[in-house]
Amino acid sequence: MGSNGYLRLEHVTKQFHDGQGAVVTAVDDVSLTIRKGEFVTLLGPSGCGKTTTLRMVAGFEVQNEGDVILDGKVINDVPAFDRNMPMVFQSYALFPHLTVFENIAYGLKIKKFSKEVIRNDVAMACQMVNLVGLEDRYPGELSGGQQQRVALARAIVLKPDIILFDEPLSNLDAKLRVQTRNEIKRVQQLLGITALYVTHDQSEALSMSDKIVIMNRGKIVQAGSPVDIYNEPNSSFVADFIGNANFLDAVVEEVCEETIIVSLQGKSIEINVSQVDGKVFEGEEVILSIKPEAIDLSDIPTGFQGRLDVSSFLGASTELTVEFDGTFITIIHSNTNGIIHGMKMDDTVHISFNLSFFRLYKK
């Protein structure tokens, strides 16, 4: 196995016919390596190819080109039921006429394990996902979060090679979603199971993953750790998708060996070349991106000004929309720094930027 990874996709392509004679490429020459025990999330907007990629790994879809390789063996021709890769769906997919115990035990019964093994393994799975005492209930008697934990237990009881997740939390409310994602991550780490997870929710991806793979239009556009993806997006698409970045028009004034000097709102700012995507030239119009939490308001003049449009108190923070240089930007002010008082719509405000969080992209 070594550095080659545990699960590999090599130049995988999947095409569909759209019913009108045209061929649509859902996944376009995707290569991906996942290490044993790694939690990898495919993240991207609807229609980007992430679910199709997951279904090819599961064996539910057959790729037109490329290979799916597990532990050094090509498994293109291995049917889904022989891949030992259970999938946890957003719809839970529980049998309504079976109890919690019977739902969890279903896969073990199909594999003809003894009653004693089934009883012990189901008990262990229930303990692991906090379902003890609910074994005799039916799915209709459970909350959404409990049903999702049954689906998780049903997957882990099979001692899978890889566990697959297809947007499993999308039907839960916000608080339950956070609790359940913590539960999934805890169990995955405890058992050391390799996990491939699909979502369009950036907070899920950031909080759970060892590696995030961002897809757009059937291709992987960036892959890396959550910290790297969030702080060093390699394109304006990634910056916008993973962190709701603000985008500002600027002009390159001077290109130095280690820094780029750009004009923003008529004032010069210096940006390290490590924050620049590609080669830029003096006089070139460029785009600066910066996350809302890397901007704040200042009590003293900073050289940058804006007009307050909307202020929303969110408890731990205040979200501000400010008109700046012909566009609207979002600012997240942490209320641990003091709650902003006395500002009202149309007030002129002083803006401070954390320059180390700027990213510069070509237009």
**Among 301, 294, 310, CA closest to 347:** 310
Which of residues 93 and 213 earns the better pLDDT score?
Answer: 213
> Residue 1 above 50 pLDDT?
no
Nearest-5° Cα angle at 158, 157 to 161: 125
Higher pLDDT, 266 or 322: 322
- Range with the poorest average pLDDT among 147-151, 226-230, 241-245: 241-245
In DSSP terms, which residues pair with 10 in a beta bridge?
A: 67
pLDDT on residue 153: 95
Which domains are assigned to the chain?
2-236 (3.40.50.300), 244-362 (2.40.50.140)
User: What are the pLDDT digits (tens) for 45-72?
Assistant: 999 999 999 999 999 999 999 999 999 9
Q: How far apart are CA 244 and CA 87, in angstroms?
A: 30
- Confidence band, pLDDT 50/70/90 cuts, at residue 4: low
Question: What's the pTM?
Answer: 0.88
CB neighbour burial string for 264-275, b if at least 16 within 10 angstroms, e if fewer: bbeeebebeeeb
